[in-house]
Amino acid sequence: MITAMVLPFVGAAFVLALLLAFTRLLRGPELVDRVLALDTMYVNALALLIVLGIALNDSVYFEAALLVAVFGFVGTVAASRYLLRGSVAE
């Protein structure tokens, strides 16, 4: 009962956080700011998928959230290595 009332507000908060991070991605003054905004966006998308999975009672969303987490982590590591060294592979 209470879950059905709270989940739309939580979902809206994550969508708002996604939009704010997207504006930082577009307007970020430095490349580091844009990488951090992208990292924040994947974390918010992950949380939104989990909230959607809870609301719809479907485990497919949890599996999709796991894939987003893995790809987001790999993308963040690759972007960080590129910023530090100038190349991803050694």
Work out the burial of residue 45: count CB atoms within 10 Å of its CB; fewer than 13 is exposed, 13-18 middle, 19 or more buried: buried
Residue 79 has pLDDT above 90, yes or no: no
pLDDT at 54 over 80: yes
All domains in the chain, ordered by first residue = 2-85 (1.10.287)
Residues 6+ apart with CB under 8 A from 43: 72
At 69 the pLDDT is 94
- pLDDT per residue as tens digits for the range 23-52: 999 998 998 899 999 999 999 999 999 999
Confidence of residue 84 (pLDDT cuts 50, 70, 90): confident
What's residue 85's pLDDT?
83
